[in-house]
Amino acid sequence: IINGVEVDDAQFSTNYNYLASLQTSTNFHYCGGTIVSPHHIITASHCLEPSAWSDPSSHSDIFIVVGAADRGLNTEVNRFKVEEIIAHPCYDAAMTNYDIAVLRVEEDLLEGTGARSIPWAIPGTDMYATGSKVSTSGWGTTVSGSGTAPNFLMTTEYEITSNEVCGAAYSMPTIPGTTLTGLPETMVCGSGTNADGLQTDSCQGDSGGPLVTVTSEGETLLGVTSFGIGCALPEYPGVYAKVEMFHKFLDWAVSNGPNTFDGSD
Ligand code: 4AZ
């Protein structure tokens, strides 16, 4: 997170305890996630090696750490093995589209960890209105281009960018390999400045983490941190997988229903 604020333990346990850190067996933090059920987190497909999706033997190096602002506090109690990777069947690595996945764990993520789940957005709300205040959080880098991650969770607030502005930014012909002519309906963007007037954004290592809105009914997950050009550049908003469009995939993945999901949104 660039130009955000640090989350302390007290704030974490009341406001941000839906966050998860994805770590390797050597405690290397590489992506974020959001707890959406006692046994499931949502993350980005691009955080996961496609070779691991259907091969449990090759995803043994993914651990989910929950319940602490300090990502180094990964104990037997709050560190979970991944039982199953459910990547969106339409995930398109070349376009970073359909960049969403569900991770299933066998144990209860919430029991005795201080963590909680939050709901994902379903269609028919006005939560994605341009200019709406949203927050994004993670253990990603605080300095664009630097590989180092903070120990404590960082969070920031900015606004939903219009689809036209964001689509235009990422349709520029200087971006090699893209054929985007506008923002796909599977994406939503955020940009803006913090209280000090500094441009703020998610960045490397925040991928997979949440874009959240707060209403009188509590928090709702609107997006999954996906990609950007640079970080906190005013001309390039942060891009998120638009969770509203994936409610059928998420209903299916989180209910562990029969394998009938056909890939439609
Ligand atoms: C990344 O490299 C990344 N500003 C994630 C989010 C953003 C940029 C880069 C959005 O994982």
What ipTM is given for this predicted complex? Answer: 0.95
What's the pLDDT score for residue 28?
Answer: 93
Whether 159 contacts 190, CB under 8 Å? yes
Q: Largest Cα–Cα distance in the chain?
A: 51
Query: What is the distance in angstroms between the CA of the first residue and the CA of the last residue of the chain?
Result: 29
The number of residues making up the chain comes to 265
> How confident is the model at residue 175, as a pLDDT?
46
Pocket test for ligand 1, best of 96, 175, 207, 226 (most atoms within 8 A of CB): 207
Q: Which residues are bridge partners to 4 per DSSP?
A: none
Q: Establish whether residue 203 lines the binding site of ligand 1, counting it when its CB lies within 6 angstroms of any ligand atom.
A: yes
> What's the pLDDT score for residue 265?
56
Residue 174 is predicted with a pLDDT of 42
Active-site residue among 21, 39, 88, 99? 99
Tell me, what's the pLDDT at 49? 79
136 CA distance to ligand 1 centroid (A)?
Answer: 12
How many whole angstroms from 75 Cα to the centroid of ligand 1? 28
Q: Has 99 been annotated as catalytic?
A: yes
**Residue-level pLDDT at 126:** 93
CA angle 235, 241, 247 (to 5 degrees): 150
Contact 240, 222 (CB under 8 A): yes
The tokens describing 220, both together, are 């709702």
Q: Please list the pLDDT of the chain residue by residue as tens digits (265 residues).
A: 999 999 999 999 999 999 999 999 899 999 999 999 999 999 999 999 776 666 666 666 899 999 999 999 999 999 999 999 999 999 999 889 999 999 999 999 999 999 999 999 999 999 999 999 999 999 999 999 987 899 999 999 999 999 889 999 987 444 456 565 678 889 999 999 999 999 999 999 999 999 999 988 899 999 999 999 999 999 999 999 999 999 999 999 999 655 556 665 5
Contact 191, 158 (CB under 8 A): yes
Q: Which atom number of ligand 1 is nearest to the Cα of residue 2?
A: 4
